[in-house]
Amino acid sequence: MKYITHPGDIERESMAIIERNTPGLANWPVMEQAIVKRIVHTTGDFNIAPLVKIHPRAVASGLKAIHQGCTVFTDVNMVLAGLNKKKLAQFGIRTACRISDPDIAAEAARTGRTRAMIAIQRAGTLTGDIVIIGNAPTALFALCKLIDTGAARPALVIGTPVGFVGASESKELLVALDKVPYITVAGTRGGSTIAAAIMNALLYME
């Protein structure tokens, strides 16, 4: 059995297959196509493309934040693990995830709220930063509330929490608010790998 072994060749062939088989891909602007292709590549599913929602200012706002050396704040460490470290360093981007902080854990135990939710509530204004929520719907609900009240104003929200309790609803709320640029995947599907893939797609747009 013959198969491709060169990493560059594997990626090029993967993207060519995605371009041939993803419904409606050509209808997206070129930069947004790159994001959709990364999501398809990560999930191995051509049919996820119609679920992707990208705010009209998302790419421009995200790239501006990246080139200004923003902080990337994530809900879980798994998202951080999937980000391209070389690209983050190239742009001087700082990363933060407070879900494992002892004070966050203590407050979660005391109040019965999720650690991800409390971490977002304690993240500050997030002005000019990129927030990536790839796992916890409660974190996205909390962020939406902060955005709605004007307490937080990130440059971009990548919101792809996954699951059957609150994930779809939290993403619907993010889109309905329409107060900050966002990238999301409608419905119950999502996860840290998709969230990281979206951020990496932006990092590759030098």
DSSP 8-state code for residue 150: T
Helices (H) and strands (E) counted in the chain, each on its own, are 10, 6
CA distance linking residue 136 with residue 144, whole number of Å: 13
Q: Output Rg (C-alpha) for the chain, integer angstroms.
A: 17
76 and 95 in contact (C-beta within 8 Å)?
no
The catalytic position among 6, 41, 55, 67 is 41
159 and 170 in contact (C-beta within 8 Å)?
yes
β-pair partners for 94: 71
For residue 67, indicate whether it is catalytic.
no
CA distance linking residue 161 with residue 126, whole number of Å: 19
Determine how β-strand 71-74 pairs with β-strand 52-54. Answer: unpaired
- Catalytically active residues are 41
